[in-house]
Amino acid sequence: MHRQREVYDGERLQPLEKRLLNDFQHDLPLVSRPFAAMAERLGVSEQDVIDTLAALRERGFISRVGAVFRANTIGASTLAAMALPEDELEKVAELVNGYREVNHNYQREHRFNLWFVVTAEDEAALRRVLDDIETRSGHAVLHLPMLADYHIDLGFELQWT
């Protein structure tokens, strides 16, 4: 689960923060120094971009900056779910968050109340991560590999009010 972050309205975000959050949801520059290319486009220094992105990450606005690859074209990935007692949900979510192979996790109002995506170098490594989560948490992990590929563009124009 994503950690709770401070709530900010658009007025309290700085102009550079707004531009970074909005303008680079797509087409991150594919060059050796992408932050320098972003900085040039924004009229600031490369270090300004790096520092601002780090601050946005620290404040919980972003979790990562990087490429997104079609599932299972490089390595292996799966959607996973766990049915957890309410009093163990936070503890197990923190455990799951500790794996570098976990992209994100979230709570749902369902018997399976913790959902997460795991990406690993291959199917064997993926299975090791899922098995380790089961062993360490003491709860079964439902492995839901992708059967059909659907592309959903999650980028959208942000509105600052």
Task: Give the tens place of pLDDT for each residue, 44-98.
Answer: 999 999 999 999 988 888 877 876 666 656 788 899 999 999 999 999 999 999 9
Angle at 118 between CA 133 and CA 83, to 5 degrees: 50
Per-residue pLDDT reduced to its tens digit, 129-138: 999 999 999 9
Residues 40 and 84 occupy one common structural domain:
no
Model pTM score: 0.59
Domain count, the chain: 2
Q: Report if residue 31 sits inside a domain.
A: yes
Instruction: Give start and end residues of each alpha helix (H) in the chain.
Output: 15-23, 34-42, 46-58, 89-97, 123-137
Residues 97 and 52 occupy one common structural domain:
no
Q: Report if residue 120 sits inside a domain.
A: yes
